[in-house]
Amino acid sequence: MKSFFMAGASVLILALAFYLGIIRAERIHLGFALPVNEELDIYQQVRKSATKGALPAGFRPEVGAKVPGSVALNSLPSNLTNRRPELRKYDYIMAQNVVALVDPATRNVVDVLIE
């Protein structure tokens, strides 16, 4: 019984480590870490001014995905880029209640923000 419990605990710990590793790997694309409260602030600020666009069938806004050329990229609001100048080099798209930060040079999604 004790060994069964230990095996289960080990699986949970490994699963948690894997999950946290995925989050860390996604943030590497951005080049800097955004605290959770800043991610929420960006999401809320963009949501106030953005209109949700329709995305092409089959496209999912996830880190590493290439945004199709038919999807318009939007500049981040200046109140955000004034506070965090490193955000100036990114645009965004909003769809499906998700804000995706996009590198306009490559059109790759570098971060995904969800409320």
Q: DSSP labels for 7-49?
A: HHHHHHHHHHHHHHHHHHHHHHHHTS---HHHHHHHHHHHHHH
CATH number for region 2-114 = 3.10.450
Q: What is the mean pLDDT of the chain?
A: 76
Collapsing DSSP to helix, strand or coil, 91 comes out as strand
Q: pLDDT band for position 32 (50/70/90)? A: low
Q: Measured between alpha carbons, how far is 115 from 96 in angstroms, rounded to an integer?
A: 11
For the ranges 1-5, 8-12, 90-94, the one whose mean pLDDT is highest: 90-94
CB 102 within 8 A of CB 108: yes
Q: What is the pLDDT of residue 46?
A: 86
Q: In what order do the strands lie in the sheet with 108-114?
A: 74-75, 91-95, 98-103, 108-114
**6-31 pLDDT, tens digit each:** 555 444 554 444 444 434 434 445 66
